[in-house]
């Protein structure tokens, strides 16, 4: 049932359902605040980091679940623990570094100390000095700790959730999505090749829409069509899971097929006359037996697994207010890679990063939308390409997976 408080504060969702998205959902502070509670601290799994980033006891990463800072640490028992990066005393950050190795964490404010599981293990001057001051006699350290998250591992990906109600991650993902993640990792040992953060000038949901929007990819990104990397006329399809929140878009390059005329018929900007001074940027190697050369996979609400040719990356989408998003990229190779395969991955990474040809444009166009909808809160986006439902499709000329996101979002938000 729609949540009345949100309906009263905002506007009701358009009667067209999944085929319309009201622009106020990208603009309102009260909607953003509710997302933090219902989605990011609700019954959902959130990508945190890779196991490969914290291989040894004592290794840690800091990251966020929505706005909430968290620490991901591997304890001496080899297990991974996740807890808020928030001192139980006065709320300061416990850890100030992005990554590293530690025996414990000590808050710089008053030196309250926590072990690698998030347990409070020390309080400076707890007994006071010379019998004066100190904590009250009834104070118990075991009663005070930052909140801990549930942890789940999927093919070397670390997920966390604040919720005790979220189903096991295998059930959450479903067999088809889980299989598609396993297809990319294929039992290999991930190695981090590089990482960076791209700041986007738009609401986080506009980027999620972009990721799920197979319709735009070969139109906005001239590079894709010019060099035959991704065209809607190629073999491919869309998978939308029953919740709508997770999706896969895939395609396969067939270099034996001549450039088709479908784009010319549309009279749109498609192929360019540009060439590459160094065509080896496009050189790759046969990696997957199914011949799929592009697979973009998303897990609700904010995780993306990318395979474009041999460029493998994970993306973490983090809201930073109604008009700003942090997009964390981590590029991957595998310990089993030959040196020439590693070089190919690094070269191809230039295709899709913010300094390359793809994500630079996605970053810009999200900002164009955020600026374009200013003053138009009552208006709506139209999502009718490929129908009005959120179902898997053999065609990528569809917005079915975008509608799927809104199906899951509305369900989670009570809208």
* Residue 262 confidence class, pLDDT cut points 50, 70, 90: low
Q: Give the dihedral of Cα atoms 86, 90, 95, 96; nearest 10 deg.
A: 120
Numbers of helices and strands, H then E, in the chain: 11, 19
Predicted TM-score (pTM) of the model is 0.91
DSSP state of 13: P
* pLDDT higher than 60, residue 49: yes
Contact 211, 194 (CB under 8 A): no
* Beta pairing partners, 248: 239, 297
pLDDT digits (tens, 9 = 90+) for 194-209: 999 999 999 999 999 9
Mean of the per-residue pLDDT values of the chain: 91
pLDDT digits (tens, 9 = 90+) for 312-364: 999 999 999 999 999 999 999 999 999 999 999 998 888 777 667 778 888 89
* Residue 230 confidence class, pLDDT cut points 50, 70, 90: low
Q: What pLDDT shows up at residue 1? A: 47
85 or 255, greater pLDDT? 85
* Residue 215 confidence class, pLDDT cut points 50, 70, 90: confident
* pLDDT higher than 80, residue 233: no
Contact 300, 408 (CB under 8 A): yes
User: What is the C-alpha to C-alpha distance for residues 318 and 301, in angstroms, rounded to an integer?
Assistant: 10
pLDDT digits (tens, 9 = 90+) for 66-76: 999 999 999 99
* pLDDT higher than 70, residue 394: yes
* Percent of the residues in the chain that have a pLDDT greater than 70, as a whole number: 89
* Closest to 248 (Cα-Cα) out of 300, 202, 191: 300
Backbone angles phi, psi at 397, to 5 degrees: -85, 65
Backbone angles phi, psi at 317, to 5 degrees: -100, 115
Give mean pLDDT, residues 48-59. 97
* pLDDT higher than 80, residue 177: yes
* pLDDT higher than 80, residue 229: no
Q: How many residues are present in the chain?
A: 415
* pLDDT higher than 60, residue 4: no
* pLDDT higher than 50, residue 23: yes
* Residue 136 confidence class, pLDDT cut points 50, 70, 90: very high
3-class DSSP assignment, residue 349: helix
Lowest-confidence segment of 173-177, 189-193, 221-225, 236-240 by average pLDDT: 221-225
pLDDT digits (tens, 9 = 90+) for 5-21: 455 545 689 999 999 99
Give mean pLDDT, residues 39-65. 98
Q: What pLDDT shows up at residue 257? A: 54
Cβ contacts of residue 256 below 8 Å, gap of 6+?
none
26 or 9, greater pLDDT? 26
Q: What pLDDT shows up at residue 11? A: 65
Lowest-confidence segment of 122-126, 233-237, 354-358, 376-380 by average pLDDT: 354-358
pLDDT digits (tens, 9 = 90+) for 361-383: 888 999 999 999 999 999 999 99
Q: What angle do CA 173, 205, 9 make, to 5 degrees?
A: 110
């Amino acid at each position: 049932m729609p949540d009345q408080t949100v309906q009263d504060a905002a506007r009701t969702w358009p009667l067209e359902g999944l085929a319309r998205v009201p622009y106020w959902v990208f603009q309102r502070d009260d909607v953003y605040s509710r997302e933090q509670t219902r989605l990011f601290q609700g019954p959902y799994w959130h990508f945190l980091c890779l196991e490969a980033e914290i291989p040894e006891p004592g290794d840690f990463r800091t990251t966020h679940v929505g706005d909430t800072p968290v620490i991901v640490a591997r304890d001496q028992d080899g297990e991974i623990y996740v807890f808020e990066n928030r001192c139980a005393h006065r709320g300061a950050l416990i850890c100030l570094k992005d990554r590293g190795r530690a025996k414990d964490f000590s808050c710089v404010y008053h030196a309250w100390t926590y072990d690698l599981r998030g347990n409070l293990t020390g309080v400076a001057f707890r007994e006071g000095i010379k019998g004066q001051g100190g904590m009250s006699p009834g104070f118990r350290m075991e009663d005070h700790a930052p909140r801990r998250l549930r942890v789940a591992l999927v093919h070397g990906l670390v997920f966390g959730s604040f919720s005790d109600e979220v189903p096991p991650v295998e059930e959450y993902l479903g067999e088809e999505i889980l299989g598609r993640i396993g297809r990319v990792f294929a039992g290999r040992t991930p190695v981090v090749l590089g990482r960076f953060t791209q700041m986007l000038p738009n609401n986080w949901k506009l980027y999620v829409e972009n990721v799920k929007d197979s319709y735009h990819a070969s139109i906005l990104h001239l590079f894709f069509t010019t060099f035959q990397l991704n065209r809607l006329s190629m073999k491919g399809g869309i998978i939308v899971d029953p919740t709508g929140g997770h999706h896969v878009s895939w395609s396969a390059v067939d270099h034996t097929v001549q450039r088709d005329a479908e784009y010319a018929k549309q009279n749109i900007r498609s192929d360019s006359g540009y060439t590459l001074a160094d065509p080896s940027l496009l050189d790759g190697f046969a990696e997957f037996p199914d011949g799929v050369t592009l697979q973009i996979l998303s897990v609700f609400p904010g995780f993306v697994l990318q395979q474009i040719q041999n460029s493998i990356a994970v993306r973490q989408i983090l809201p930073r207010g109604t008009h700003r998003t942090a997009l964390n990229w981590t590029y991957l190779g595998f310990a089993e890679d030959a040196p020439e395969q590693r070089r190919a991955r690094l070269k191809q990474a230039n295709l899709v990063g913010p300094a390359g040809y793809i994500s630079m444009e996605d970053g810009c166009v999200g900002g164009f939308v955020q600026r374009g909808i200013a003053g138009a809160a009552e208006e709506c986006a139209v999502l009718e390409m490929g129908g009005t439902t959120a179902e898997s499709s053999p065609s990528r000329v569809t917005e079915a997976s975008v509608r799927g996101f809104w199906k899951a979002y509305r369900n989670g938000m009570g809208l």
